[in-house]
């Protein structure tokens, strides 16, 4: 019975992940095109997408590489952009911490923004789910997303400049993150952190090597954490 239930949760996850293909496909295509135009070989581009699985940090690192930024800045920026993955992992650990080590390792490897967003929202709304059911749902959510990211990157590499500018693939980047972030704006801390990151990023947009992005991310995390501490103290009183 549990196996059947876990299987049904897997397919629920698949259905939750499928709508994200509308943005993952053009996002991956765009990275494939931009990476090859920047001078990466097809193998390097595919390895980049197959190992990192993080479009935002891939674009940030690629831009800095094109600008011949110091490698330390490239690595620091990619790590800063991907720092959210560490927070995702900490959050998922509260739900999947009882899963076997290899399962948790695989979750960490394939975890992306979209799978985290739909999984955590479901886990919060359905606290009665068992760990195997949660694992099934999570892997269902990544099943359509991760393979399509790799396939879309390969198509971008193959088609290259054959993709007409009128397709405006770059629209997928902001839409993708808006679709992820909007449902997660549930608390004052979330909203203030988001607003802070936007304001600081715009104010520091002219800073070289995208260092303004690092400052915006760090400031937003501090603001969000402080608001949560303030709210917790207020609740205790």
From first to last of the 237 residues of the chain, give the pLDDT tens digit: 445 588 899 999 999 999 888 888 888 888 888 888 888 888 988 988 888 777 777 877 887 887 787 888 888 877 777 777 877 888 899 999 899 999 999 998 898 888 888 899 899 889 899 999 999 999 999 999 999 999 999 998 888 766 666 555 556 666 666 665 666 666 787 788 888 988 998 898 888 766 777 788 788 888 888 888 887 778 777
Q: Which of 209, 233, 211, 213 is nearest to 221 (CA)?
A: 213
Half-sphere exposure of 9 (CA within 13 A, CB side): 23
Q: Which two tokens stand for residue 177?
A: 């993150």
- How many whole angstroms separate alpha carbon 4 and alpha carbon 61? 43
Terminal Cα distance for the chain, rounded: 46
In angstroms, how far is CA 168 from the centroid of its own chain?
Answer: 21
How much is the pTM?
A: 0.73
């Amino acid at each position: 019975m549990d196996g059947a239930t876990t299987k049904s949760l897997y397919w629920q996850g698949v259905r939750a992940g499928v709508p994200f293909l509308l943005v993952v496909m053009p996002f991956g295509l765009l990275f494939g095109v931009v990476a090859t135009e920047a001078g990466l070989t097809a193998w390097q581009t595919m390895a980049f997408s197959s190992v990192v699985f993080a479009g935002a940090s891939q674009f940030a690192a690629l831009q800095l590489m094109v600008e011949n930024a110091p490698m330390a800045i490239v690595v620091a920026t990619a790590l800063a952009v991907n720092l959210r993955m560490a927070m995702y992992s900490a959050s998922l650990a509260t739900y999947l911490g009882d899963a076997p080590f290899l399962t948790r390792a695989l979750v960490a490897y394939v975890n992306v923004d979209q799978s985290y967003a739909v999984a955590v929202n479901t886990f919060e709304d359905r606290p009665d789910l068992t760990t195997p059911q949660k694992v099934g749902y999570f892997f269902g959510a990544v099943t359509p997303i991760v393979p399509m990211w790799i396939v879309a990157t390969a198509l971008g590499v193959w088609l290259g400049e054959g993709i007409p500018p009128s397709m405006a693939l770059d629209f997928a980047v902001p839409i993708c993150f808006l679709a992820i972030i909007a449902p997660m704006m549930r608390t004052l801390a979330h909203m203030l952190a988001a607003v802070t990151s936007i304001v600081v990023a715009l104010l520091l947009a002219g800073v070289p090597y995208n260092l303004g992005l690092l400052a915006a991310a760090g400031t937003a995390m501090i603001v969000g954490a402080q608001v949560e501490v303030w709210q917790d103290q207020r609740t205790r009183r």
